[in-house]
Amino acid sequence: MKGFVCLLALILFFVGLPALHAQEYGKIRALNQRAAYVIKQRNDFVAQVLTSYAIPHERNEQGVVVRIKTDGRWLDVTTIEIVPVLKIAGDKRQQVAAHELFFYTANGGILNLLSELTIH
């Protein structure tokens, strides 16, 4: 009887373990897909804001803005920060009213834009 229980436990372990592994793989895959979608949204939003200000820009293969043209010069972008600008709604809740974008360039400059566009 004891041997039967051990055998049954081993069978459940070897059958159940791959099923659990597959479940975790599915979760990781879903998270990776969501991350890729959010990054694409961010990159598209940044390009949309630059376009709305008629600022020429270049994007790499992944859609990241890597260069902007200001004052007739092309500048390499090293970092982009997007900061939500909040407002207090009538019911005292905070809502995003706009976004402030900071483009840090390789020459030490910063381009600051304010946009009421929404990310979608």
- The pLDDT tens digits for 7-51 are 556 565 666 666 656 667 777 888 889 988 999 999 999 999 999
In DSSP notation, 41-99 reads HHHHHHHHHHHHTT--EEE-TT--EEEEEETTEEEEEEEEEEEEEEEE-TTS-EEEEEE
Q: Where are the domains of the chain?
A: 2-115
Average pLDDT of every residue of the chain: 86
The amino acid at residue 120 is H
Nearest CA-CA partner of 85 in 94, 77, 73, 97: 97
pTM: 0.74
Residue 96: what pLDDT?
87
29: its two tokens: 């895959």
Give the mean model confidence (pLDDT) for residues 77-105. Answer: 91
What is the 8-class DSSP label of residue 115? E
For the chain, the maximum distance between any two Cα atoms, rounded to a whole number of angstroms, is 85
